[in-house]
A and B are shown apart, each in its own frame.
Chain A
Amino acid sequence: MAKYLLKRLFYLILTLFLIATITFFMMKLLPGTPLSNESKLSHSQIQMIYHTYGLDKPVWQQYLIYLAGMVRGNFGLSFQFDNQPVSYLLATRMPASFQLGIQAMIVGVLLGIIVGGIAAIRRNTWVDGTMTIISILMISIPSFVLAILLQYYIGLKAGAFPVAGWGNFSYTILPTIALAGSPFATTARFIRTEMVDVMSSDYIELAKAKGLTSTGVVYHHALRNSLIPLITLIGPLTVNLMTGSLVVENIFAVPGIGEQFVKSITTNDYPTIMGITMMYSVLLVVVLLITDIVYGIVDPRIRLQGGQS
């Protein structure tokens, strides 16, 4: 197990290094400068400012400087936020995205499991049909459409929740629902398929033959076994949600990180682009690693390959 982990860790670092390198050079190919007043500055004025920031150095030198900084956890200074450290930007803007992402995951996945489970048990009845339609709807309606509808009808017309902004828990409810749509639908459809599959397997027949109640069969055997593959799905989905959604965050005026990623690219804010990319990558590879480990722990069938040593 230790050897396996070491090997994985090595690949993890290699992956991150490759991501950093490729992103850095691709980013440097972007046209334009990171200066916000660029349209008013002449070429020579831009060069003067570049010199101050060390942007006039050859790209490979900038790359080495950057890499050296990153290893020490220094992502550099943002351009859009006048010289604010990128790590500070991340630290102050991540929590809102994290919170919304995790809330949306909990709500979405829980409801998804319930709905998917019910659909599987009552498969090919009207219940199943309705549930399927709901989940197809939720997966086809983009989160921003849902967000706009929620904001207008629930926020403005009904006045049940704040229209937009960030404050106490009530501010998070509408964006959470808007974001939960997709994980809900994905989970519901996944669980339904898995459970239908599991329910027709031999050990379920055996459990039934043993005289267990049907709820007992569903909870103890069918649902539990269907949940295992869900782990692979939840990891990346969570990372995706936690790193923020550009549109939903904008619609609800949430001070998250989602919009910053897009904005940093359009404004050529090099350090921020790198900072957010690397953070996203680290989260993703770490979550994938954890998923694999957890998978091995929960599902004895997988453990064989990883546990040779």
Chain B
Amino acid sequence: MKLRRVLALGAVAAISALTLAACGNKSGASSHKGVLNLSTTAEMPGLDTSKVTDNSSLTALSNTQEGIYRIGKDSKPENALATKTTESKDGLHWTFNLRKNTKWSNGDKVTAKDFVYSWRRTNDPKTASQYAYLFDGVKNADAIQNKKADVKSLGVKAVGDYKLEVTLEKPIPYFKLLLGFPIFFPQDQKVVDKYGSKYGMSANKQVYNGPFKVEGWTGTNTKWKWVKNNSYWDKSAVKTNTINFQVVKENNTALNLYNSGKIDRTQLQGSQVANYKNNKDYTYFQGSTSAYLELNEEKVPAFKNQKIRQALSLALDRTQLVNNVLEDGSKAATGLIPTKLTKNPKTGADFANDSKVADTTDHNLAKAKQLLKEGEKEAGISSLNFTLLADDTSGTKQNSEFLQSQFEKLPGVKVSLQNVPFKNRLTKSSNGDFDAVITLWGADYNDPYTYSSLFTSDNSQNNGKWKNSEYDTLIKNSANKDANDKQKRYDDLVNAEKILTKDVGIVPLYWGTASGSGPMLQKSYVKGVIYNSAGVNFNYKNVEVK
């Protein structure tokens, strides 16, 4: 009888547990005032200001800590800890007067010394920061990272508690944008020393001087929150008391949670976009990821021929690619640099429009065929075979197949596909082990230079080894000679982009979305979210839930 009893008990226990739980959980959506509920697609791996690399952590730091500037609407740097900025004529010397009496959440004062300490720590090779390269241009940063100079020689100095002096080796026209990026935020040395290797590994092993404080994050868990920081200098501007985060990796799950009222925003993917396009909550956050094809001129000599490259670019119907294959709100690219990244200082026109070159990216199969014929004649070949390398995610596979079918409409062109895991693709790309590769690049900051600098002859990210001396000169001028002349620098970058497009240094594909951007549903009671397409996307300082 023993077995029978066990079985019966088990069954009763299971059934009663199920019913009990069912009764206990009929409560509907909670009240929303002052509380924002968000989901994120990945865990937050760390809050060490020098070491963060991922979206969740960067978003957390930029909303819970504060540096010299905070990036506001339309990527405008606004004074945060700075009260006054003085820039020398040559753009090499910067002086920042800092706000007095701002405090870390542990009560320590935030001073200029915290910046000096933080920047040195990030550049110290021992820290192994993966974002230290953003300091390129700050005096001795490169040398320090390569162990050729002492950390103390970094071009940053505290004059008293509230004045910070920064020396650059070369002008950095987007320096103010960088100063709004968490890697450039101050750090409290006392806290770093106190926690040692545990610093930033859980919510209470970090201090905050921004609008919010992180709570409930243990380092590996999937739920945490930001609560209003009452020691923040501008706390009256913070209208939301709590922002809850929950990791939801599955897109459909997030949508179900949104529809059940548990989260206030969700990213849409694939067929969800079509289904919800007319929903009143539908909104689109333009991303700043550029997808392009790199043609390896060292491995496939035919790619050295400009006409062949042009033929490949013209053979593509990008509209069909974004509308029928990607279906996620991505835009057909007309060049390398996406729209909404930056504007003409004089006219306010979008960079992508200013740099557009007619008849370079519009679908024109007849012209492509003709160019290919001419190109093949010039190169002395009669057919073109190459392998297209790309990631092995299902979306990218579809893209490759689409590109293959489009290229093979050209007579004598045969394309084979090679889809490999992301890390594998990166290795192959940087080793030059590919014929053509689909590359995606996300902007670090809202300035064309984050893209343009990639395709100079000596840049290690120029995997196709396309070379154009005119392009090199323009990029160099933009960073040196014209660096302090906004308009001239802008024109240099526009002209460089035109050359890249005309000469097909890369084949532009689409301007897409990354995690944290793209088509979304957002509840209408959420107001005041500031979104920027590059760097840290979301600024929640002024968010209101009404």
Residues in chain A within 8 A of chain B (CB atoms): 30-33, 35-45, 48-49, 51-53, 80-84, 88-89, 92-93, 106-107, 110-111, 113-114, 148, 151-152, 155-156, 159-166, 168-170, 173, 219, 223-224, 227, 250-253, 255, 259, 266-268
Question: Do A36 and B4 touch across chains, with their CB atoms under 8 A apart?
Answer: no
Question: Do A170 and B200 touch across chains, with their CB atoms under 8 A apart?
Answer: no
Which A residues are CB-close (under 8 A) to B223? 165-166, 255
The answer to the question of B107 belonging to the interface, with a C-beta cut-off of 8 Å to chain A, is: no
Specify which of A39, A45, A160, A252 is in contact with B25 (CB 8 Å cutoff). A160
Specify which of B17, B52, B247, B444 is in contact with A82 (CB 8 Å cutoff). B52
Question: Do B133 and A40 touch across chains, with their CB atoms under 8 A apart?
Answer: yes
Contact A156/B427 with A52-B125, A110-B14 known, Cβ cut-off 8 Å: no
Question: Do B46 and A82 touch across chains, with their CB atoms under 8 A apart?
Answer: yes
Q: List 20 extra interface pairs beyond A163-B257, A253-B247, CB under 8 A.
A: A31-B420, A32-B423, A35-B130, A36-B45, A38-B423, A41-B130, A53-B128, A80-B45, A84-B201, A92-B219, A156-B256, A156-B259, A159-B28, A159-B260, A165-B223, A219-B1, A223-B3, A253-B246, A253-B249, A255-B223
- For the complex of A and B, list the 3 residue pairs with the smallest distance between their C-beta atoms, beginning with the closest: A32-B423, A82-B46, A170-B21
Question: Do A81 and B256 touch across chains, with their CB atoms under 8 A apart?
Answer: no
Specify which of B45, B219, B249 is in contact with A250 (CB 8 Å cutoff). B249
Question: Do B125 and A48 touch across chains, with their CB atoms under 8 A apart?
Answer: yes
Question: Do B201 and A151 touch across chains, with their CB atoms under 8 A apart?
Answer: no
Which A residues are CB-close (under 8 A) to B153? none
| A contact patch SS | helix
Which B residues are CB-close (under 8 A) to A164? 248, 250, 253, 256-257
Question: Do B424 and A31 touch across chains, with their CB atoms under 8 A apart?
Answer: yes
Question: Do B54 and A88 touch across chains, with their CB atoms under 8 A apart?
Answer: no
Quick one: closest A residue to B147, CB to CB?
Answer: A48
The answer for the CA separation of A171 and B248 in the assembled complex, in Å, is 14
The answer for the CA separation of A64 and B290 in the assembled complex, in Å, is 43
Question: Do A43 and B51 touch across chains, with their CB atoms under 8 A apart?
Answer: no
Question: Do A30 and B46 touch across chains, with their CB atoms under 8 A apart?
Answer: no
Question: Do B256 and A106 touch across chains, with their CB atoms under 8 A apart?
Answer: no
The answer for the CA separation of A224 and B4 in the assembled complex, in Å, is 10
Quick one: closest B residue to A148, CB to CB?
Answer: B252
The answer for the CA separation of A84 and B260 in the assembled complex, in Å, is 34
Question: Do A114 and B222 touch across chains, with their CB atoms under 8 A apart?
Answer: no
Specify which of A84, A155, A267 is in contact with B256 (CB 8 Å cutoff). A155
Specify which of B21, B201, B219 is in contact with A161 (CB 8 Å cutoff). B21
Question: Do A31 and B256 touch across chains, with their CB atoms under 8 A apart?
Answer: no
The answer to the question of B328 belonging to the interface, with a C-beta cut-off of 8 Å to chain A, is: no
Quick one: closest A residue to B257, CB to CB?
Answer: A163
Question: Do B10 and A106 touch across chains, with their CB atoms under 8 A apart?
Answer: yes
Question: Do B126 and A84 touch across chains, with their CB atoms under 8 A apart?
Answer: no
The CB with the most chain B CB atoms within 10 A, among A43, A83, A160, A255, is that of A83
Question: Do A251 and B7 touch across chains, with their CB atoms under 8 A apart?
Answer: no
The CB with the most chain A CB atoms within 10 A, among B7, B146, B256, B424, is that of B256
Which B residues are CB-close (under 8 A) to A42? 133, 460-461
How far in angstroms is the closest Cβ of chain A from B458? Answer: 11
Chain B window 43-67, contacts with chain A (Cβ cutoff 8 Å), 1 for yes, 0 for no: 1011010011110000000000000
Chain B window 127-141, contacts with chain A (Cβ cutoff 8 Å), 1 for yes, 0 for no: 110110100000000
Question: Do A83 and B197 touch across chains, with their CB atoms under 8 A apart?
Answer: yes
Quick one: closest B residue to A259, CB to CB?
Answer: B249
Question: Do B25 and A251 touch across chains, with their CB atoms under 8 A apart?
Answer: no
The answer to the question of B426 belonging to the interface, with a C-beta cut-off of 8 Å to chain A, is: yes
Question: Do A88 and B252 touch across chains, with their CB atoms under 8 A apart?
Answer: no
